[in-house]
Amino acid sequence: MQELDLELIRKEIDKADSQLAEVLEKRLQLVMQVAAYKKSKGMPVKDKNREAKVIAKVASLLENKDYSIAVKNIMRGIIDQACVLEETALAEPSDRTFEVACFGPAGSFTHQALEDFFRGRKFNRHHYNTFEEVITSISNGDMDYAVLPIENSSTGGITEVYDLLRQYDCHIVGEQCVKIEQNLLGCEGATLQSIKTVYSHPQGFKQSKDFFRDYPHMEQIPFFSTSKSAEEVAEKQDITLGAVAGKAAADLYNLKIIAPAINSNNNNYTRFIIIAKRPEIIPNANKITLIVAVKHETGSLYKMLASFYHTGLNLMNLESRPMVGKSWEYFFFIDVTGNLSDPLVADVIDEVRSKSTYVKILGNYRAYEKKE
């Protein structure tokens, strides 16, 4: 048997790589032509059926079928990177100014989440008093994006937001987390003893319930938002009134912090979602949110959830919301890891559909990562 010459083999590999680079460049040039066509026609980037046919066709051209699986995986990677190029070509111009809806007035935690998420982009901020007004602004096409709180690490999911996401036509395109520190605020001269009535959003009270056990004389009045509560106290300038809100609201409305950090959990974070009218293809998206309903029979929920387990996808959150008019039947809001462009993930979603009576994908986006 002739001894192999490693250096000679490597030279042949270099030659093949040179030819491969030429072919890949030609293919990507053609991809950019496709992107230009799609942009002119308003077409989406992804075409699952077309991609599957391309991958299968290339594999069928191999003389050595032992390489089939490897070549299919390589082709998936090539197509994924081509899609990233197409997405860049189809993206909005970087100098565009976005119209962004925000729940609550300036100085709220939602305001902070908005500023953090859209930092580096041009935008006009629009404030709304209710969750439904915010979502309606997206559903009607009045706003490009909106920011809403959806979950707190101490008090759980915000049920009204979950319900509105199912009812209205909108999609999740991103998320942002903000550390929440609630404070008792008052006007000049106010003290813990003088304050008799406290305003805040219900979430603010829930996050500070341990504090209020020690001050039973304080009446808790639910209000539009934490920052709106601070604004109300600032306008009335009454030492018997207080508000549960953040430091930004105290600074904005020139209020004193009567009692700092009154939230029960020091590791208190709120997760905010960014929504848009239409779904967006997010490069490197790694989180999927969907709504599912299953038959009201034994084992139906288990069988549906098993689809995620058996394929190794991490189920990150599960919230149930009752169906109106159907006792003990529920919609399930699910957060799971994955990218819909991954054939494995797409197959899992198809399997979930086959085991469910209702499925709505709210979005595929990048999970929040804390920046050090």
Sheet (strand 287-293) strand order:
315-322, 330-337, 287-293, 358-365
Global pTM? 0.72
The CATH number of whichever domain residue 141 belongs to comes to 3.40.190.10
| Helix or strand (DSSP H, E) at 124 | strand 122-128
Q: Clarify whether 270 is annotated catalytic.
A: yes
| Mean pLDDT (whole number) for 11-36 | 86
As beta bridge partners, residue 287 has 337, 365
Q: Are residues 132 and 269 in the same domain?
A: yes
Q: Are residues 114 and 141 in the same domain?
A: yes
| 2 lies in some domain | no
| 372 lies in some domain | no
Using DSSP, state whether 259 is helix, strand or coil.
Answer: strand
Q: Are residues 31 and 60 in the same domain?
A: yes
pLDDT of residue 42: 65
pLDDT of residue 283: 73
The CATH number of whichever domain residue 317 belongs to comes to 3.30.70.260
Q: Are residues 200 and 310 in the same domain?
A: no
pLDDT of residue 112: 94
Catalytic-labelled residue, pool 272, 308, 332, 333: 272
Q: Are residues 74 and 99 in the same domain?
A: no
d(CA 24, CA 270): 44
Q: How many domains does the chain have?
A: 4
Q: What percent of the chain has pLDDT over 70?
A: 96
What is the domain extent for residue 77? Answer: 7-90
pLDDT in tens, 158-209: 999 999 999 998 999 999 999 999 999 999 999 999 999 999 999 999 999 9
Tokens standing for residue 145: 């994006």
Q: Are residues 12 and 147 in the same domain?
A: no
- Cα 126 versus chain centre, distance: 20
pLDDT of residue 25: 85
DSSP 66: G
Last residue of a domain, one of 90, 118, 136: 90
Residues 285 and 366 sit within 8 Å (Cβ to Cβ): yes
Catalytic-labelled residue, pool 270, 308, 331, 333: 270
Q: Clarify whether 272 is annotated catalytic.
A: yes
Least confident of 21-35, 122-136, 302-316, 352-366: 21-35
Q: Are residues 271 and 169 in the same domain?
A: yes
Rounded mean pLDDT of the chain? 91
pLDDT in tens, 56-100: 999 899 899 888 888 888 988 888 888 877 777 666 555 789 999
| 304 band by pLDDT with thresholds 50, 70 and 90 | very high
Q: What percent of the chain has pLDDT over 90?
A: 63
| 140 lies in some domain | yes
